[in-house]
Each structure stands twice: as structure tokens, then as C-alpha cells.
Amino acid sequence: MKWPRPAQPMTGPVIPIASESSGSNFDFRLHPPSASLPSHSHSHAIADTPLAVNCFTMSLSSASSTLLRTCARQQLPTSRTASPFASANERGSTLKIPNFSKYQSNKNPRSNQVFSYFMAGTMGLASAVGAKATVQDFLVNMSASADVLAQAKVEIALGAIPEGKNVIIKWRGKPVFIRHRTQGEIDEAREVKWESLRDPQADEDRAQRPEWLVMLGVCTHLGCVPIGEAGDYGGWFCPCHGSHYDISGRIRKGPAPLNLEVPSYQFPEDETLVIG
Amino acid sequence: MAGISNVIYQSIIRKNAVFLTTIFAGAFAFEISFDTFSNKVWDSWNAGRQWKDIKPRYLAAAAEEDDE
């Protein structure tokens, strides 16, 4: 930046009008032009004299306090050069703008832009794939493993169970009672007035096929395994605290609050039962 | 060259929504292709050693036992 100099030498300080006295414009006018002074080797006292006079005059002409402060600042420079800044022509000056053309790309600016956007987009793509894989790994880790899934279902061939017999199988660590009921037992289970029972439930809701009764063999009181073909009602009897279940697995007597639980099961074929 | 990059810029990069959609679609396609490719590499590297390769042998042996 070149410091603006007045076109012609001025003999004395110019007093600016207060309204147009904005910063830099005001700045150089306060200084007497260097041409008016014989040489740079003049003492500072001489150079500063017109400034002091200037400020004094302005205060007389009721200039604003801002202006006064500007005047005070003007006395700070000790050098008498026209510019308080270094010249770009000086050796080692930081005001020279270097030539960057050596480092500038010869390519089309658009292709450079597309390249940088492509790199950013590729990084976004890689991050998206990585984030998805991470989340998926965590979720898969939480789901059941293959050996657990393999034991989740149990398949039973029903042809091996004769009528009027119980079978106890293990399913998910718990015993499951399967009873092949006789026609007499089915009639007995269905004749009961189930509405007045402790845990009212119809036999039709407990057995998908009337001849096959499938229940979890865990007493609903405290979790013992009831004994089959025992008790006052011809069904199951829990030896721990004396709960009696009837031939449909419903609680009839004793401390248990609920009927024996029926798991989800289906008959994919006529002679096959799948529990789970 | 400038024409191609200009076409790419105007069609894909200029609108952020299009840019993002392209990135996610690209991520989807990349994942599928990468998984397929790496599975193929794995299968060719372990050819003859995996259960799906040797399963027919055991099935045939079981069938013969049933016949006996």
C-alpha cells in the first residue's frame, strides 16, 4: 500500500472541518508534507509542533472529543517519514505480495473442484459403509446364536405315544408334558364348569386337538414339576405344596394361582408335533 | 476433460441433496459388490473344505446306510 501524499507541498497545517474528519483522511493532512521540511534529520520537536498547535486550535473550535483523541494519537510516531508503515520497496519488507503462479494448477478449476468433491464424497461413502457394518455387527451379536436357535424348537413323533400315556420332554431347559388323552378324559375335561374355576379357561382354548394336551411341566406356584396321573382330579399333582391340576392342566385345589402354561405349538403333519 | 468435469459437477455435485443421495446409493452398491466379491474369494480359497462342498458326500453315505 502506497501512502497517499499531497500533490503539492503545503506550507502549514490544514485544519479540517469536524464533520469530514474521518480517520485516515484526517491522518495525513495533519502531518506536514515531508517536502516542506528540509530533511529527515530534523528534530522531532520541530515536526511535532504543528500537530500540537493543530490540536489546540481544534479544541478551541469545539471539535469533538473523538477528534482530540485522534490528535493525541498522532503525536505517537517518532519517525518523521510520511508513512507510519514500512514501504514495500524496503529490503525484507513483508508488504510484497509473493508470486504464486508457480504453485497454481494449470488444470481447469472445475476439474480440480470435481476432484476434491469426489474425494470428500468417497470418504463419506466409506464412512457410511463402515458405520452400517459396525451397527450391524453389534445387532447380530445381540441376536440368538445358531445353537440356541437350533434348540428353540422341538419336534416330536406322536405315533410313539399310546393313548392314555404321558410323555415328558425337555424344551428350552424346561419339562413339557404331552398327554395323549382318551375320549373319556376329553369328555371329563370339557364337562367341567370352567367359568367358576380359579383360573377360568375352557379346554378348547388349551388344546388345539382334544386328544393331545401339551403343557409346560412347571407348577405355577413355585416351579416344581408336578407328578402325572395323580391328585384328586385325575390330572397332575405337585408334591411340593399340594396343588391339584385336572386332566386339562387347570388348577383345581392348592396354592397355585394359575393353570399349567400352554406353549405355542403346531402340528405340521398329522403325526408330528413341533413345540416352539 | 473440462467438459466431463463440468457435466459431473452440474449433474451430481451442484445440488447437495443429489450429492448425498449419490453417496448413499454408491455406499449401498459398493457394499453389495464388496460382499459378493469377498465371499467369492473366500469360497475359492477354501474350495473343498466347507460344509456346503462336502455335504453331498455325507448325504450319499447316509442314503447308502439307509438302503442297507
Provide, as residue numbers in chain A, all residues whose Cβ is less than 8 Å from the Cβ of B34. Answer: 129
Could you tell me how many residues make up chain A? 276
Determine phi and psi for A109, rounding to 5 degrees: -60, -30
Nearest to A110 among B5, B24, B30 (CB): B5
Structural domain range at position B17: 2-67
Where residue A165 falls among pLDDT bands split at 50, 70, 90? confident
Q: Three-state SS for A9?
A: coil
Helix (H) or strand (E) holding B45: helix B16-45
Q: Is A129 on the interface with B (CB under 8 A)?
A: yes
Confidence class of residue A10 from pLDDT cuts 50, 70 and 90? very low
Tell me the β-bridge partners of A176: A169, A216
pLDDT for A16 beyond 50: no
How high is the pLDDT of residue A156? 85
Record the cell numbers describing residue A241, joined without a space. Answer: 405344596
Of B5, B22, B31, the CB nearest to A108: B5
> Directed axis angle between helix A44-60 and helix A65-74, to 10°?
180
pLDDT at residue A91 is higher than 50: yes
Task: Check A40, A42, A44, A241 and give the catalytic one.
Answer: A241
Number of domains chain B contains: 1
Q: Is A234 helix (H, G, I), strand (E, B) or coil?
A: strand
Burial class of B54 by CB neighbour count within 10 A (0 to 12, 13 to 18, 19+): exposed
| pLDDT bucket at B1, cuts 50 / 70 / 90 | low
Mean pLDDT of A146-153: 80
Rounded CA separation A163/A169 (Å):
17
The per-residue pLDDT of chain A, averaged, comes to: 76
- Name the pLDDT band for A254 (thresholds 50, 70, 90): confident
**How does residue B22 score in pLDDT terms, banded at 50, 70 and 90?**
very high
Domain regions of chain A by residue span: 1-105, 154-275
> In this prediction, what percent of chain B has a pLDDT beyond 90?
68
Is residue A40 annotated as part of the catalytic site, yes or no? no
State residue A78's pLDDT score.
55
Contacts of A171 (CB under 8 A, 6+ apart): A154, A263, A275, A276
CA quadruple A51, A57, A59, A62: dihedral positive or negative? negative
Give the residue with greater pLDDT, A227 vs A63: A227
Predicted pLDDT at A63: 53
The answer regarding whether domain A154-275 maps to CATH 3.40.50.2300 reads no
Q: Which of A114-128, A165-179, B9-23 has the lowest mean pLDDT?
A: A165-179
Kindly tell me if the per-residue pLDDT of A59 is higher than 50.
no
Q: Is the dihedral of CA B27, B29, B32, B34 positive or negative?
A: negative
Rounded CA-CA distance A235/A239 in Å is 13
Mutate to test the interface with A, among B9, B22, B23, B35 (most CBs of A within 10 A): B23
Preferred mutation among A106, A112, A113, A114 to probe B, highest tally of B CBs within 10 A: A114
List pLDDT tens digits, range B28-49. 999 999 999 999 999 999 999 9
Domain with residue B24: its CATH number is 1.20.5.260
Task: Return the C-alpha cell found at A21.
Answer: 474528519
